[in-house]
Structure 1
């Protein structure tokens, strides 16, 4: 009964990719309520907030101590429980003082026994220096390097840029060539021959962790840098000329121009391999990124594809952008990104120094001439 109801309720309000996640979390809740504690599946608001908060705290403790779940995993499962209760008109007291106190206590306990796996943010200097390594990878390597650069400038999640192990991108989150539009004034430039005349590029993120409504998109716009992007990918490992003015516009333009014959449904990190087209995967991008940083004397285990996303946020923080602006441009659901900034003060200081000394401030940085807005799919 409850399983059927869960399926029915999960068909409204969230993206299809979220249905399975919520359903799995709900199934665990149903099992715990009916088998372990032998109580009704749905909590009754009539019993009062204190009782409901106590029941939620017990479930949270069960997940932590009995199932060994991390706090981030527990938070996701509680969101699913709240979601299904909300569907029948029950508002769970997630902000109740008792529930929050238990949650804080478990978080402290988790910190004591968990080794930190904080990824370090990459910088544009690291990416630029890595061209020497990526140049040896051929045309596919060019696509991969540009994909890493796009993830840095647009603060993309790995699942938005790269494919999973099966070679397929996420059906909601993954960015295709059709999600990228070049504009000049009010006119969209549809052919690759005209893209270099554009005065801005728009990227539509149709869904993300912060947006489960398929009809709503985040639109990121960025303008050309202050200098032309004179790309010379000749396999020699030489740093291209004109790199001072490189920004999100330039790297995305070059990525789109790599194989303009691809259609709108093709992932932006697709590349030819023999007689077939492939897409760079998250695992491959992680390995490649670690090769880049290892070649510069850095510890590769401290970097992953997510390093591009937090690297862009770190640079924006060093530039003095507000937390709200960083959260909006990076499409973060919460202020969780701030932990990266607080935990990487050295990188923020280095970024500040680089901004002050890099070509007399002529280099365009992540977020410069960039603005974020929300909109309906298809709206410009």
Structure 2
């Protein structure tokens, strides 16, 4: 007789059905659910502290009337805090991400003492304490701000994939009992789906981030998992196939912009963008509007120095990748190595653009140039020059700038500074002996 097929418990089936029904909401709710769970844990610690403080002390007798009034006030306060905790936990449980394994937390490091807040300019230790809900809101805001917007998008995608995998294999992705074997199976699943080893590593970073926030052991840090990533890298090595925009190609596509643009404004706009991207070592998300980046350069970030024959462009980068301490970075360029002057091209564009505040590169109606619009024009210019547009992307300007600087004998430190790299990662952009 064939063995009887096991049926998952009703709670598991219900949870799985809820996950699949709410799949569209998971992507934006995953990190939010973790943040809400953390604030709920802090609230629980506050509640326990208040309960301990509300317990009657045998060493400090008080009158019956005073004791009753005090206990009634404490009971009302605790009831209010109980309601706050329950509201927070219901909010978390309503998310598609399962939280059954998140409720037991080590609270020794989350106790909030009832001391005076040093941040308040007035008042003393006898004044009423800060509103707990307001402080919890600040905790959530700080956590949300700890990751760059682009990182949040990638981490949400990773946690969504892990969440779906966990439901299919019947374990809680955020629970204490996530084992190395679960992570190993997930790595195998991602590899089977033909994800690059770098993408798999990023997914594991997201999982480790969530577990460490929730006071769990990091299930991704085991020796086995590291060896699985090494195996994925050896079996499917990846290489950056993007080619650099060289000075010669830059001259060609600047000319092509005048032949492929639909209006004079677009011609001058894209010529300025191409030359600016190369000479300023700009990332594509800094000169175009992108959903994955909020680092778009503004008109106020650019200053012009000198006359028509010796113009210099000063670009102040205030928002850029990995700039966690908000350091301002300035790069200055003039004519540049191309036939057309990069500085005069930008000045000509700014004269047409006008002085309306907003993004540096905009359409004639003052709406920012999007990533897709830039890519479309670059593709048209490359096709005009009979170049393979699959090998040249928006980042090819930055690759070309780094390669050109290396050819000119610039030191590693100088290239790092010009490109705003914080490590030797720039070396992977430096290409030599490129045949075009």
Q: TM-score if structure 2 supplies the norm length?
A: 0.57
Q: Indicate the residue corresponding to 1:173 in structure 2.
A: 295
Say which of 352, 356, 360 aligns to 1:268: 360
1:346 corresponds in structure 2 to 433
CA distance in 1, matches of 2:312, 2:375: 32
CA deviations over 1:135-163 (Å, ceiling 9, x no partner) = 24322121112112211122222222123
Aligned equivalents of 1:337 and 1:204: distance in 2?
Answer: 18
* Structure 2 CA distance for partners of 1:334 and 1:87, relative to 1, 3 Å: farther
Aligned to 1:27: 160
**How many Å separate the matches in 1 of 2:236 and 2:256?**
39
1:69 to partner: Cα distance: 2.4
2:326 is the counterpart of 1:216: yes
Q: 1:362 aligns to what?
A: none
Conserved in 2, the CA contact under 8 Å of 1:34 and 1:41?
Answer: no
Change (3 A) 1:220 1:82: farther
Provide the secondary structure at the position in 1 that maps to 2:242: coil
**Which among 247, 250, 258 is matched to residue 352 of structure 2?**
258
- Residue of structure 1 equivalent to 2:393: 304
Separation in structure 2 between the aligned mates of residue 156 and residue 124 of structure 1, nearest angstrom: 16
Q: What's the counterpart of residue 69 of structure 1?
A: 195
Q: In 2 relative to 1, CA 40–279 (structure 1 residues): closer, same or farther, beyond 3 Å?
A: closer
Residue 11 of structure 1: aligned partner: 144
Report what 2:236 is aligned to: 110
- Greater share of strand: 1
Matched, 1:288 2:389: no
- Whether the 8 Å CA contact 1:196–1:253 is kept in 2: the answer is no
Q: Give the number of the structure with larger relative contact order, counting CA–CA contacts within 8 Å between residues 6 or more apart.
A: 1
Partner of 1:375: none
Is the CA contact (8 Å cut-off) linking 1:147 and 1:255 kept in structure 2?
no
- The verdict on how the C-alpha distance between 1:311 and 1:63 changes in structure 2, with shifts beyond 3 A counting, is same
1:104-253 aligned at under 5 Å gives the runs: 104-111=230-237, 118-136=241-259, 137=261, 138-164=264-290, 172-182=294-304, 201-208=314-321, 210-211=322-323, 213=324, 216-225=326-335, 246=341, 249=343, 251-253=345-347
Residues 175-226 of structure 1: CA deviation (Å, up to 9, x unaligned): 2213324579xxxxxxxxx999976613224132x34x4x624513215458
RMSD: 3.9
CA-CA distance at 1:270 after TM superposition: 0.8
Q: Deviations over 1:216-269 (max 9, x none)?
A: 24513215458xxxxxxxxxxxxxxx966945x555444434313322x2x222
Relative to structure 1, the CA distance from residue 84 to residue 39 in structure 2 (aligned partners, 3 Å threshold; closer, same or farther) is closer
Supply the distance in 2 between the matched residues of 1:40 and 1:100 (Cα, whole angstroms).
19
Inter-CA distance 27–243: structure 2 relative to 1 (3 Å threshold):
closer
Q: How far 1:99 moved relative to its partner?
A: 3.6
CA distance in 1: counterparts of 2:224 and 2:292, whole angstroms:
38
How many residue pairs were aligned? Answer: 300
Task: Give the drift of 1:337.
Answer: 4.5
Q: Distance in 2 between matches of 1:327 and 1:104?
A: 28
Q: CA deviation at 1:106?
A: 0.3
Alignment deviations for residues 33-74 of structure 1 (CA, whole Å, 9 cap, x no partner): 455262562568xx9xxx75x664443222222x43233332
Distance 2:373 2:152 in 1: 28
Distance in 1 separating the partners of 2:229 and 2:282: 30
Q: Quote how far apart the aligned CAs of 1:13 are.
A: 0.8
The answer (yes or no) to whether the contact 2:288–2:361 under 8 Å persists in 1 is yes
**SS of equivalent to 1:311:** helix
Structure-2 separation of matches of 1:173 and 1:346: 33
Q: For the Cα contact (< 8 Å) 1:162–1:282, is it kept in 2?
A: yes
Q: State the structure with more CA Rg.
A: 2
Q: Is the alpha carbon distance of 1:312 and 1:199 closer, same or farther for their aligned partners in structure 2, counting shifts above 3 Å?
A: closer
**Cα displacement (A) at 1:77:** 1.9
Find the aligned partners of 1:327 and 1:150 in 2 and give their Cα distance: 18
Return closer, same or farther for 1:195/1:205 CA change in 2, 3 Å cut-off: farther
CA contact (8 A) 2:201 2:229 kept: no
Please give the alpha-carbon distance, in whole angstroms, between the structure 1 residues aligned to 2:353 and 2:228.
Answer: 54
